[in-house]
Structure 1
Amino acid sequence: MKYKNAKNILPKELLTEIQKYIQGDIIYIPIQGKKISWGEKSGYKEDLNNRNKQIFNLYTLGHDISEIQDMFNLSKSSILKIISKIKNSNPSLGGVVNE
């Protein structure tokens, strides 16, 4: 979230009205309408989902966990969590993650 000076973006009358309630503090003004979840606006959420699918696909193709760790610079526990989460969200995949 980027800081913006109200003096530079709000009409003077509105700024004067807001100053009756708060001055010199930072306030959060929520988005009106549909709430955007974390990472949607920047595309980071989609990037992580794609990375996690790639990790899972490598695992299902038989790559070792340590090999996947090196490819993505993630810890073993992070790789195992990603694989387990995808398996648990798709019951047809079944089974327990093999270390």
Structure 2
Amino acid sequence: MKYVKAESVLPQSLVKEIQKYVQGETLYIPKPKAEYRKWGSRSGSRRIIDERNAKIKAAFSNGKPIQELACEYYLSSETIKKIVYKKH
């Protein structure tokens, strides 16, 4: 998140209206809900984790024990359980 001076991006009339409520403070203005992206969607991390989880589920379905998967993927047994028992 970067800092932007209100005077450089907002009309003076809007700055004056905002000053009725807040002066000299940092004000966060969130994105519209339609602009939100899920975690990792921009960097590709989400896709990588989804692919890893699919491999874990497949290995578990083929009989690989949870403890062995935990060691192989450097995850806790509880995390492996969450992955393999997740409904969707």
TM-score where L is the length of structure 1: 0.63
Per-residue Cα deviation, 1:14-52 (whole angstroms, up to 9, x for no partner): 275436414421303314745422322222221221111
Query: Structure 1 residue 58 and structure 2 residue 59: aligned?
Result: yes
Query: Structure 1 residue 14 and structure 2 residue 10: aligned?
Result: yes
Unmatched segments (≥5 aa) in structure 2:
none
Task: Tell me: CA distance 1:82–1:20, structure 2 relative to 1, closer, same or farther (3 Å).
Answer: same
RMSD: 2.6
**Which consecutive aligned stretches of 4+ in structure 1 deviate over 4 angstroms post-superposition?**
31-34
Unmatched segments (≥5 aa) in structure 1:
90-99
TM-score where L is the length of structure 2: 0.69
Aligned length: 83
* Map of 2:50 onto structure 1: 49
Per-residue Cα deviation, 1:51-86 (whole angstroms, up to 9, x for no partner): 11011111122222111101111111111111111x
For 1:69 and 1:50, locate their aligned partners in 2 and report how far apart those are by CA, in whole Å: 16
For 1:4 and 1:19, locate their aligned partners in 2 and report how far apart those are by CA, in whole Å: 22
For 1:28 and 1:59, locate their aligned partners in 2 and report how far apart those are by CA, in whole Å: 45
For 2:67 and 2:9, locate their aligned partners in 1 and report how far apart those are by CA, in whole Å: 61
Larger CA deviation: 60-69 vs 16-25: 16-25
For 2:76 and 2:28, locate their aligned partners in 1 and report how far apart those are by CA, in whole Å: 38
Contact 2:53-2:83 at 8 Å conserved across structures: yes
Task: Tell me: CA distance 1:24–1:64, structure 2 relative to 1, closer, same or farther (3 Å).
Answer: same
Alignment-mate amino acid for residue 15 of structure 2: I
Alignment-mate amino acid for residue 25 of structure 2: G
